[in-house]
Amino acid sequence: MSNTEIKKNLLQKIKNKSAIVAVIGLGYVGLPLAVEKAKAGYRTIGFDIQKSKVRMVNEGHNYIGDVVSEELEGLVKKRYIISYYRFFNSERCRFYSHMCSYSFG
């Protein structure tokens, strides 16, 4: 597949909301980002190294002040957001990913 075809395919998936978004890190930047992408209509997969965060997201429990608890819960129930402890499902996220890591300083 040529670069032009890849770009065209990506733009089409973004336009028709079939692109799957991966967010790596579900902290104070990553979880709000994942929620906003899911609210925009994209299936969103979150990854984090903290099992407690993964569990809470999958149960629809919010732990970040910038996220509305009811929105997170609704998005989880509709399966727009799901999170994993391991990065094993990343092959489903071929077109967009965002890494949110701890900021030092």
105 pLDDT tier (thresholds 50, 70, 90): very low
75 token code pair: 């998005």
Residue 9 within a domain = no
Question: Does residue 33 sit within a domain?
Answer: yes
**Rounded (10°) CA dihedral 72, 73, 78, 81:** 40
Q: Domain limits at 43?
A: 24-99
Q: What is the CATH number of the domain that holds 67?
A: 3.40.50.720
Q: How many domains does the chain have?
A: 1
Asked if residue 55 belongs to a domain, the reply is yes
Model pTM greater than 0.75? yes
Please indicate, yes or no, if residue 105 is contained in any of the structural domains. no
Residue 10, in any domain of the structure = no
For 27-51, how does the pLDDT look when each residue is reduced to its tens digit (9 = 90+)? 999 999 999 999 999 999 999 999 9
- CA end-to-end span of the chain, whole Å? 43
